[in-house]
Amino acid sequence: MAPRMPDRRLGWTPLHERYDTAVPTTTPDRLVHAAEPGAPLVEPPVLERVLAAALARGGDMAEVFVEDRQTTGAALDDRRIEELSSGRERGAGIRVIVGDTTGFAHTADLSESGLRAAAEAASAVARRGGGGVRTVALATRQPAPPRALVLPSSVPKARKLELLARADDAARSAGREITQVMAGYGDSRRRVQIASSDGVLAEDDQVRTRYSVSCIASGDTGMQTGFESVARTAGFELFDDLDVADVAQVAARRALAKLSARPAPSGELPVVLAGGSGGILFHEACGHGLEADHIVKDASVYVGRIGEQVASPLVTLVDDGTVAGEWGNYGVDDEGHPAARNVLIENGVLTDYLWDYLRARKEGRRSSGNGRRQSYQHLPMVRMTNTFLLAGQEDPDELVAQTPRGVYVAKLGGGQVNTTTGDFVFGTTEAYLIENGRITEPLRDANLIGNGPEVLRRVDAVATDFGMTPGTCGKDGQSVPVGCGQATLRITGVTVGGTAA
């Protein structure tokens, strides 16, 4: 029986499908200039007074989230620069919690009067009456230095554009069938400051840089595409060790290989997932189902299963926002709690869920550092960071050699999941047929269709070649950067939605 259609609010998007994230943003002139290096976005005494105003009419907790985000983006198409943009967004979101009710307001006015107005608006939604004054004492401020050696804002735009031109030349050198090359560059710096009536006062300075190449190859079978990207929570030093020509040639090779691709088989087959991008499957297949908001709403197949064997003993699943440099890395989450390493499944046994402040508070426990939001205009929710399966002990080549017939997936594309049932659908962007223990012909793009808990149980071998992949995770209309990964592994059976008879 075909699985139910997944909930499309939850999905992984490859970075090339979010190519134009650097959208110019208009901000008032008085907010354009950044604070002095090391200075807070808003002074702590002001935050204390705003929090007190937010709780003046009653409330259990008040929080101020301040954000200053700068972005730069550039895009090349057929040797021409099609986009060169920069943007700036600055503002604050204020929430007040009273019992099970949350009031929320946001503003681009970071003056004390602007923050107080937003605080009173949030309080009006959540207030329970009672009046009075509540004094808020914040923790000592600890400035957060940017985790970047070279701030992208210090690099001339001409140097960034040179990277795009180099990609075009390198991709076209891979073969005359390459008829179109698109390259993209993007960087962002996101400074955040979080203060709450619980005494939290935290800051973070997140710098991210990405580079991507997409190629089109034309031949007797029509047009085929190939894509590759590199993205790190780092500055322009990303390009000290990265040869952008290599990125372009990988994208070109993928496009060229598809010119001779045959239709993918259909039906249930063993699948070998190459190290790196296969982790996207587990991000969707089980990661979302382990987020506590789905758990408390009884909308996950993993509700009430702590301590149960939910996967193969070879599966240990970790979510870790502390992994330096990976796309989902940060110092503190968007509620001011330190990023953490959280083991969710250990040797196949479910050990915990992911928690934000709100869900943890209801359950009488602490946040796991997974409260995230797209911007100051959004409420935080439980989100993954860098989610991955730990490496095993097998030789990756042996996993293929021991598979008489199946599909080797070198790269997965986007996917979606229904957390209530665990059913998922994924697209492949680079896959090959396995015949007699050998990787043979390339396959046209197809879907992998299955059920998360069932796939976890069917993992029968995990190799040593661990790798990570960056991407964008969408949930309830919000998108955040995440990483996922795994070593090469084999699943004994997954439904392949190909077109071959």
Helices 112-126 and 44-54, interaxial angle, to 10°?
30
pLDDT at 238 (0 to 100): 97
Q: Would you place residue 38 in the very low, low, confident or very high pLDDT band (cuts 50, 70, 90)?
A: confident
> Coil, helix or strand for 116?
helix
> Coil, helix or strand for 256?
helix
Of 388, 387, 386, 389, the residue nearest 461 (C-alpha):
389
Contact 416, 424 (CB under 8 A): yes
**Residue 339 carries which DSSP code?**
P
> Coil, helix or strand for 95?
strand
The beta-strand segments (E) located in 164-323 are 178-196, 201-219, 222-232, 266-273, 317-320
pLDDT at 292 (0 to 100): 97
Domains and CATH numbers, the chain: 34-258 (3.30.2290.10), 266-497 (no CATH)
pLDDT at 417 (0 to 100): 85
* Per-residue pLDDT reduced to its tens digit, 341-368: 999 999 999 999 999 999 999 999 999 9
Decide: pTM greater than 0.75: yes
* Per-residue pLDDT reduced to its tens digit, 4-36: 333 434 665 666 433 332 333 333 333 333 445
Percent of the chain at pLDDT > 70 equals 90
Q: Would you place residue 37 in the very low, low, confident or very high pLDDT band (cuts 50, 70, 90)?
A: low
* pLDDT of 429 over the 70 cut: yes
* pLDDT of 198 over the 70 cut: yes
In this predicted structure, which of 200-204, 217-221, 355-359, 391-395 has the lowest mean pLDDT? 217-221
